[in-house]
Amino acid sequence: MLFGRRLRFGVAILAAQLLLIAMAIAWCVQLTLIAVNGQICFGETNPAILYGEIAATVLVAMFAAVVFVVQYRRLAEKRASDDTQQRR
């Protein structure tokens, strides 16, 4: 069971890092377009695509928050076990 937990945590960390890289690339593209054109404007005429993109953005944000909380708890558990071991 522990292997499964570690595997899930590792996959979550890898996914979080990939999303971070994707967001950095998207931000770089946005800033490059602003530098080249002086502004950036988007328009989406298809409501299904627009709401799909909004839903995907919300899911990515929720995933990031969950991974952050899991990492924080894991760090807190590790710190608590380290403190316990040092007191002995």
- Nearest one of 11, 3, 1 to 70, comparing CA atoms: 11
Per-residue pLDDT of the chain (88 residues; tens, 9 = 90+): 456 777 777 788 888 888 888 888 888 888 898 899 888 887 889 999 989 988 988 888 888 888 888 888 888 887 666 666 666 6
CA-to-CA separations, 41 to 20, 33, 58, in angstroms, rounded? 23, 10, 21
pLDDT computed for residue 46 by the predictor: 93
Give the number of other CB atoms < 10 A from CB of residue 30: 12
Which H or E run includes 47? Answer: helix 47-87
Residue type, position 76, single letter: A
> Is residue 43 a contact partner of residue 37, using CB atoms and an 8 Å limit?
no
What pLDDT, on a 0 to 100 scale, did the predictor assign at position 53? 87
